[in-house]
Amino acid sequence: MTGHLLSVVVFLPLAGAVLLLAVPRWAEGVLRGGALAVAVLAFVVSLALWTGFDARQADYQFVEDMRWMPSLGVGYHLGLDGISLLLVLLTTLLSPIALGSAWRAIEDRTKEFVITMLVLETGMLGVFVSLDLFLFYVFWEGMLIPMYFVIGVWGGENRIYAAIKFVLYTMAGSVLMLVAILALYAQHGAATGAYTFDLPTLERWVMPRGLAQNLMFAAFALAFAIKVPLFPFHTWLPDAHVEAPTAGSIILAGVLLKMGTYGFLRFCLPLFPDASMRYAPVIFALAVVGVIYGAWVSTVQPDLKKLVAYSSVSHLGFVMLGIFTLNVQGMVGGVIQMINHGLSTGALFLMVGMIYERRHTRLIADFGGLWTVIPAFSAVFMVVVLSSLGLPGLNGFVGEFLVLLGTFRAHPVLATFATTGIIFAAVYLLWMYQRVIFGEVTSEANRRLRDLSPREWAVVVPLLVFIVLIGVAPSPFTGRTEASVKALIARVESKAGASAAAAATAQARP
Amino acid sequence: MSTSVWLIPAFPLAGALINMLFGRLTGRRASWIAVPALLGSFLAACAVFSRVWHGEIVTARLYPWIQGGEFTTAVSVAVDPLTGVMLLVITGVGFLIHVYSVGYMHDDPGYARYFAYLNLFVFSMTMLVLASNFLLLYVFWEAVGLCSYLLIGFWYTRPAAAQAGKKAFIVNRVGDLGFGLGVMWLWVAVGSLDYADVFKAAGSMEPATATWIALLLFMGACGKSAQIPLHVWLPDAMEGPTPVSALIHAATMVTAGVYMVARSHVLFERSGVALDVVAAIGVATAVFAATIGLVQTDIKRVLAYSTVSQLGYMFAAVGIGAYAAGIFHLVTHAFFKALLFLGAGSVIHGMNGEQDLRKMGDLSKRMMATTITMGIGALGLAGMLPLAGFWSKDEILAAAFFGHRRVLWGLLVAGAFMTAFYTFRMFFLAFFGSPRMSREVAHHVHESPRSMTWPLVILAVLTTVTGLAVGIPLEHGSPFERFLAPVFARLEEAHSPVAALALAVLSVVVVAAGILLAWMLYHVRRVKAEEVGQPRTWVHALLLNAWYVDAIYDRLIVQPLYALSVLLARAFDLGVIDGIVNGLGRAVTGWAAGFRRLQTGFVVNYALTMLVGAVLLVGYLLTR
């Protein structure tokens, strides 16, 4: 069993989904409870990954490597390193929370909903642990389908438009990535004689620099940039968030966006180091623009969900900055910032969902004076807002500071621009908070709202715990990431050096 | 034993957590937890101080905090004489203000929340001065800003309070942008953020680098300590409860900038230019804010602008290298300004919430204790002999004069004149002359309860004796200065006693003149309420509107940025970017509709197309 721990974690939700198929659709309580139990179980099992993980080791751990389609060089290869460990745990943490948030919100087709969510969880986990490009692509695309249904079936009024936009936009990027995967497969096979999709093998191979590498990088980068979303590929995000149900938004913001940034770390940097370094300035520039642009556009949104959606553009800009600094501080900060964004923005969507359930509106103008009516909600909301704006002592600060420190080392002027993001974050979040929570109660409909229920407490407290924990004691989290990040940097540098040497010898030859 | 150091922040932190998590249970009894927590903190601070007094430097380390590669910082603290003094002021004045709050906030529905925030503030502020590295300093620098935000907006149903809280936080974040960049640069330049490493390395740092870092750090100080151009949040912060104004926006938090610059003086000295900038900004703010204080009609706003101005004096002091004098003024100011704010609170409490000086007058008849203590506070602020404010201000003026900064000195003397004038204008308007309040209010005017007057008395005593006890300059500096000598590693040079005496006499004369002018204009002459605060000249209008700085910021920064954001959100994001995305989608649909016509369903058409294709392909292959 321990030899297959990763497989167990990944496929546990799917197995649960299959079991729930047998439950009749009228037994909604059993369906909800069962799905939640499965998701919680997956989280508990995934804790074994945390405790069993050796932080000193940079290499993949809990590896499972089996043959799948040997004639094509496709393997069932799973593994976990310091970068994916935290993302896997984030996924198993947010999934039960998302299910819990939907307890009352989803009343239509409950059976299909909980099954879809569990299938989605398996898809997301698969993306983070696949060490075979073919397997990765299967999970990457496979996970689109349940998300499409979550938005398209259980979404708001304009859900069909949003769901189609989400899928088409993502597909446009992934199709090019598929072409690049095949090209990489072919090129590696031609050069070494071994046709394989195995990621560690491909990572070790020094690809010649030049047009082919640049094009492959561009294809991968486009797919991931859309997912992140990196400015200017972000316009699917506000639509998807506004239409998605709360549970969908939590997963979308919390986990799905991280697949983009994870992709850059796991694939773009080690596979195409020369191209990554060459285009790093472009990514840097887009990331900084995203940080500021996202914050500005966020400020003037009248809709709470859109405000949070655009704030994601800003926050993910920080992650991208961190990744492309190619130094330890920036990259560790980027990884931590991914987790923090998942926690803080997940919590923001959760809270927005709670007041939406009560009032059926998300317009800021419809609220005001909520502290008087629902003080506990308001206090929790305050903590979440502070975490999102990067207040020291809470989680957001740790990631942002390390990212900015890394950026400052690499590029002080850009770091200065990016740092203005912390001012604008305070502007849009505190202004929103002021209009929603402070002041007199302006609308009669708000006068009788009820405060947090025990179920809502149960859903939000785990997030608060990690928000505080990472803020106060981040070392266990950064410590588990650092070795892998260092190894990644070393790999990028050594490969870039090797390909440069190869290019030099090629030129020296008559 | 280093645990006693941790007790200083631990008591108020525990108090804050209890009242936050169980506020519904503690309710009216919140102060039973919060006030003893402060007393415990104060006693722990005394214990640590006595060790520092004997020459020890107390250090303690809790655990490593943020780490990444070669970057590492710990939660670690150190108490030297400078921190020791700060700790006594924070916990001592903090304790008095907690006691005062018991009476002042008596009927407030948010009693538990209030004490939770206040405890949280003291925790953060003590950690700010305890921190022994720049990152931890930065953390609590922002944390006190959070407490300030929460307490300014404490009465959250009032839109002005919520607005002021947000403004304070955002303006402070502008300063923190600089502070944060300064910290990062410091690490890149030195490779460590520990005070010890940084100050050791600062001596050999490239002066240009030192200048940049020092100025960035100073930007943070401008935000926190309300110096030009980031002073705009402090007057608005008066929306908070008055004890909060006393503790946070006068005595402690706003002095964090002064503390930070004094703490980092090695770095500022290495730069040189940075020190000059600090001095210039300090003097400019001291005079600028004093001019605005001349015409304010709200009792708390007079004190707020006075705070901005006095902080300017402190920066002027550290800017000209008189660090001990700056810190001494910080201490005396904490006493007399806390006293004045608490006195003003007593007035407001007695008058049922009235803050307008035009509706006061003759309060001395009903509020004897408040009048006397506030009179002492006013003399202290004006800097009259022999009160504490005289000694600390005089040292700053002397340092400027003997440091050959004659222009700065002249401006500071002019500021001292204005200070004396506006302080006593406020004093006479409130306590003397004919009563100008409505009959109803007049009927209710009453002295405040004991829990409020006792802190006033203690602060009045401190205002009176501190200068005489430790502030008299002797041959080798004042006792206070000598105590801080290990931190600043220097003493101000001795000056010719005759010149020093002449300066002191001049200072007394200037202050007396200011008081006299106020007495003539607002006591001898009958005050017509409708004339006070009515702009008669453009200068008067300029001062009443605080030099229009807020209006200028609004016009030049806030509104353009807002308009730009709206434009980006509506026109650019939805129009251009999303327009392209949707346009691509439509284009594909359009092409597809066109291509669909090719699928005619007639086999002959397909066959023909295949033939054409085959011919083209063969032709291509042949001609290649």
**Which pLDDT band holds residue B490 (cuts at 50, 70, 90)?**
low
Residue in B139, B157, B177 closest to A440 by CB: B157
Q: Is the pLDDT of residue A506 over 90?
A: no
Tens-place pLDDT, residues B112-162: 999 999 999 999 999 999 999 999 999 999 999 999 999 999 999 999 999
Residue A463 has pLDDT above 80, yes or no: yes
Provide the pairing of β-strand A74-80 with A61-69: antiparallel
Residue A2 clears pLDDT 60, i.e. is over it = no
pLDDT of residue B2: 66
- Nearest-10 crossing angle of helices B299-319, B388-402: 40
> Quick check: is A118 in a domain?
no
Report the pLDDT value the prediction gives residue B396, as an integer from 0 to 100.
93
Which residue of chain A comes nearest to B159, CA vs CA? A439
Give contacts of A468 with chain B, Cβ < 8 Å.
none
Q: Reduced to 3 states, what is the DSSP secondary structure of residue B194?
A: strand
Binary contact (B565, A296; C-beta < 8 A):
yes
Q: Return the percentage of chain B with pLDDT > 70, whole number.
A: 99
From chain B, the residues in CB contact with A430 under 8 A are: 149, 166, 169-170
Quick one: which H or E segment has residue A64?
A: strand A61-69
- For residue A442, the distance in angstroms to the closest alpha carbon of chain B comes to 11
Whether the CB-CB separation of B307 and B254 falls below 8 Å is answered with yes
Shortest Cα distance, chain A CAs vs residue B401, angstroms: 39
**Quick one: pLDDT at residue B332?**
95
Do A228 and A314 touch, CB atoms closer than 8 A? Answer: no
Tell me whether residue A400 is in a domain.
yes
Q: Would the CB atoms of A422 and B177 count as touching at under 8 Å?
A: yes
Residue-level pLDDT at A1: 43
How far is residue B519's CA from residue B527's CA, in Å, rounded to a whole number? 11
The question of ipTM being above 0.85 is answered as: yes
As for how many domains chain A has, the answer is 1
Torsion of CA A40, A45, A47, A49, to 10 degrees: -150
Among A349-353, B26-30, B108-112, B124-128, the minimum mean pLDDT is found in: B26-30
Alpha-carbon A79 to chain mean position: 18
Query: Which chain B residues are closer than 8 Å to A406 by Cβ?
Result: 68
Within 8 A of A411 by CB-CB distance, chain B residues are: none
CB-CB neighbors (< 8 A) of A299 in chain B: 562, 565
Q: Tell me: the pLDDT tens digits for A308-323?
A: 999 999 999 999 999 9
Amino acid at B343: G
* Interface touch A296/B561, C-beta < 8 Å: yes
Q: What is the DSSP letter of A80?
A: E
DSSP, res A232: T
- The 3-state DSSP class for residue B322 equals coil
pLDDT for position B556: 94
A66 DSSP β-pair partners: A76
Q: Which of B344, B301, B515, B347 is nearest to B423 (CA)?
A: B515
Question: pLDDT band at B494, cuts 50/70/90?
Answer: low
Tell me if B170 and A423 make a contact (CB, 8 A cut-off). Answer: yes
Rounded distance between C-alpha atoms, residue B329 and residue B390, angstroms: 9
Q: At what angle do helices A82-105 and A475-508 cross, to 10 degrees?
A: 130
Chain A residues with beta carbon closer than 8 angstroms to that of B68? 328-329, 332-333, 402, 405-406, 478, 482
C-beta of residue B412 within 8 angstroms of C-beta of residue B316:
yes
Chain A environment of B135 (Cβ under 8 Å): 401
Chain A residues in contact with B146 (beta carbon < 8 A) = 386, 391
Shortest Cα–Cα distance, A54 to chain B (Å)? 17
Cα–Cα distance for residue pair A310/B410, rounded to 1 Å:
53
Domain region containing A443: 279-497
Across the interface, whether the CB atoms of A486 and B69 are under 8 A apart is answered yes
Answer whether residue A162 is part of any domain.
no
Could you give the CA distance from residue A114 to residue A146 in angstroms, rounded to a whole number? 11
The minimal CB distance from B170 to the residues A393, A405, A426 is found for A426
Q: How confident is the model at residue B286 (pLDDT cuts 50, 70, 90)?
A: very high
Q: What is the identity of the amino acid at B379?
A: L
Asked whether residue A309 is assigned to any structural domain, the reply reads: yes
What mean pLDDT, rounded, does chain A reach?
92
Q: Is residue A351 assigned to a domain?
A: yes
Find the residue in B nearest to A473 (Cα). B65
How far is B451 from chain A, CA to nearest CA, in Å? 29
Q: Would the CB atoms of B156 and A329 count as touching at under 8 Å?
A: no
CB–CB contact A430 B170 (8 Å): yes
Under DSSP, is residue B508 helix (H, G, I), strand (E, B) or coil? Answer: helix
Closest CA to A279 of A268, A290, A293: A268
Which of A372, A423, A441 should one mutate to test binding to chain B, selecting the residue with the greatest count of B CBs within 10 A?
A423
Query: Under an 8 A CB cutoff, do A412 and B185 touch?
Result: yes
How many other CB atoms are found less than 10 A from the CB of residue B482?
15
Q: Compute the nearest-CA separation of A173 from chain B (Å).
A: 13
State whether B69 and A409 contact (CB < 8 Å). Answer: no
- On whether residue A428 sits in a domain, the answer given is yes
Q: What is the pLDDT of residue A510?
A: 55
Q: Residue B76 corresponds to which tokens in the numbers above?
A: 């670690």
Question: Cβ contacts (< 8 Å) between B142 and chain A: which residues?
Answer: 391-392
Which residue in chain B is spatially nearest to A390 when comparing CA positions? B142
Tens of pLDDT, residue by residue over B369-408, are 999 999 999 999 999 988 999 999 999 999 999 888 899 9
- What pLDDT is stored for residue B346 in this prediction? 94
CA atoms within 13 A on the CB side of B509: 6
A7 Cβ contact list (under 8 Å, min separation 6):
A64, A78
Residue A505 lies in a domain: no
Residue-wise pLDDT for A36-88, tens only, equals 999 999 999 999 999 999 999 888 999 999 988 888 989 999 999 999 999 99
Look up residue A18 and give its two tokens.
């299959």
CB nearest A392 (choices: B138, B149, B578): B138
pLDDT at B491 over 60: no
- CA angle (B238 as vertex; B234, B244 as ends), nearest 5: 100
The answer, yes or no, to whether residue B414 has pLDDT greater than 90, is: yes
Instruction: State the best of A166, A314, A427, A461 to mutate against chain B, taking most chain B CBs within 10 Å.
Output: A427
The minimum CA-CA distance between B194 and chain A, rounded to whole Å, is 16
Nearest CA in chain B to A481: B68
Distance from CA of A83 to the nearest CA of B (A): 14
The whole-number pLDDT of residue B24 equals: 81
Cα–Cα distance, B131 to B128 (Å, whole number): 6
Instruction: Give domain status of residue A464, yes or no.
Output: yes
Residue B310 has pLDDT above 90, yes or no: yes
Return the percentage of chain A with pLDDT > 90, whole number: 82
pTM, to two decimals: 0.93
Choose the closest CB to A438 out of B66, B162, B561: B162
* Closest CB to B64 among A406, A423, A475: A475
Q: How confident is the model at residue B492 (pLDDT cuts 50, 70, 90)?
A: low
Provide the shortest C-alpha distance from residue B528 to chain A (in Å): 36
- Please give the Cα distance from B90 to B331 (Å, whole number): 10
Query: Are the C-beta atoms of B480 and B389 separated by less than 8 Å?
Result: no
B348, B415 contact by CB (below 8 A) = no
Q: pLDDT per residue over B552-582, tens digit each?
A: 999 999 999 999 999 999 889 888 888 888 8
Compare all CA atoms of chain B with the CA of A417 and give the residue at the minimum distance. B177
Rounded CA separation A305/B539 (Å)? 48
pLDDT digits (tens, 9 = 90+) for B46-101: 999 999 999 888 889 888 999 888 898 999 999 999 999 999 999 999 999 999 99
Confidence grade of residue B614 (pLDDT, cut at 50, 70, 90): confident
The reply to whether residue A482 touches residue B69, judged by beta carbons under 8 angstroms, is: yes
Q: Report the range of poorest mean pLDDT among A108-112, B220-224, B461-465.
A: A108-112
CB contact under 8 A, B69 and A328: yes
* Predicted pLDDT of residue A108: 83
B175-201: b (≥16 Cβ within 10 Å) or e: bbbbbbbbbbbbbbbbebbbbeebbeb
For chains A and B, what is the number of CB pairs under 8 angstroms? Answer: 134
Contact B270, B307 (CB under 8 A): no
Residue of A nearest to B174 (CA): A423
